[in-house]
Amino acid sequence: MFLNLLQRRNTALLDAAAALHRAGEIPANTFVIDLDAVGRNAAAFAAEAARWGLEPFAMTKQIGRNPDVSRVLVANGITHAVGVDLECAVAATTGGLRVGHLGHLVQIPRHQASIAAALQPRYWTVFTDEKAREAGAAAQALGRVQDVLLRVVAPGDRFYAGHEGGFALADIVAAADRIDSIPGVRVAGVTSFPATLFDAESGTAKATPNRATLTRAKEMLEASGRTRVEVNAPGTTSVSVLASLAEAGATQVEPGHGLTGTTPLHAVEDLVEEPAIAYVSEVSHFHGGSAYVFGGGLYVDPVLGDSSTQALVYAGGSSETASALRLDVDMPAPEAIDYYCRIPLADAPDSPRDHVEVGDTVIFGFRPQVFVTRGLTAAISGISTGAPHVEGIWASDGSAPLIPFSSSPA
């Protein structure tokens, strides 16, 4: 999906990843991240967000909550993270990010509210009165009053299956007044997801009905006498959509794939953000005319629908992208465990079976969700200066992997 983009706009990442894998510094089943490019992407995003009065919270689940990346985000103006769940919020803090938002998309379990409160999040989303009471009790125990966002819903809003829930738009003022009466919490604003989605037919990012719901909720709350109503509006977030979000009344945005140049819009249009992530594996063995390639991180985010997959095979121990073979890949079925994928060789051009060897580097370019995989992550610094260096190897949850590697943190 993004292999063309990587070859065209960031060949240096591919070259560095292949060379480092060949040298044994990057293991198979690793998502490599160009730290220099992420830093530039973050700086561009932070500057444009500030221009529109928007506060950015980084979503790090897609990159496995890599702490080296977190530190680069902080250095380039994005100081807070959004946790897709509590574990994500905790992991973000290990890299120096503070918690800007939690509880949305995943609510905080009852007996973990005290852990969430200890993170002192800027904002905590609740879907129900019960969850507001849990947040309030946990905050009170620490002597705090917690700002909460209400997930707001209206007929016609779009939600992914299993993401539904929240307060009805028609009753949002009454709900806010009711939540404000709960000790330990204060209603700060509203949120929904997704506020923006990629439209495949037009090849553009478009507002969802949820965005209009957020705008209307803000207007209703302001008409009731509230001031500085926060509007958190995540979804398909890149520099290119910030102006339209600000015009709709948003005050908070949550870049994730925008920071690695892998939103759906990046696949069809060159945007400010550079592509900054690729998946590295290697040939394990051969069988029936195919090369079997180690998996573990082969979950491809289906946001662009069904699509074929190709990979670059650095045959014969090469680490030069210019001479790599670009071959079709038979990916494992979505319901299968991705121990391996297969690269058919018998029918491929120029009989590559005669050149491909066990251990050869294989690099993919697709839109990842590392946190739902067994994939590792490795942030590479110095690519832009010609001196690439692996900062560390991390597990998919942002912790050090159980199996140590030469470049792993001590």
The residue ranges of every structural domain in the chain are 3-33+273-394, 79-254
Q: Please give the pLDDT value at position 404.
A: 77
Residue 50: the pLDDT is 98
Tally the C-alpha atoms within 13 A of residue 395's C-alpha that lie toward its C-beta: 10
Q: Is the pTM of this model over 0.85?
A: yes
Flag whether pLDDT at 344 surpasses 80. Answer: yes
pLDDT at 406 > cutoff 90: no
The CATH number corresponding to 3-33+273-394 among 3.40.50.300, 3.90.1170.50, 2.40.37.30, 1.10.540.10 equals 2.40.37.30
| pLDDT value at 81 more than 80 | yes
Instruction: Please state, in angstroms and rounded to a whole number, the distance separating the CA atoms of residues 141 and 131.
Output: 16
Residue (of 33, 121, 41) closest to 76 by Cα position: 41
pLDDT at position 305: 72
* Range 5-22 average pLDDT: 98
Does residue 51 have a pLDDT over 80? yes
pLDDT category, 410, cuts 50, 70, 90? very low
Q: Is the pLDDT of residue 193 over 90?
A: yes
- Angstrom distance (rounded) from CA 267 to CA 264: 5
Average pLDDT score over residue span 325-348 = 92
Average pLDDT, integer, range 109-128:
98
Domain spanning 79-254: which CATH class is it, in words? alpha beta
pLDDT of residue 287 exceeding 70, the answer is yes
Q: What is the mean pLDDT of the chain?
A: 95
What is the C-alpha to C-alpha distance for residues 147 and 47, in angstroms, rounded to an integer? 26
pLDDT at 97 > cutoff 70: yes
Structure tokens belonging to residue 209: 């009905």
Among residues 230, 246, 206, the alpha carbon closest in space to that of 151 is found at 230
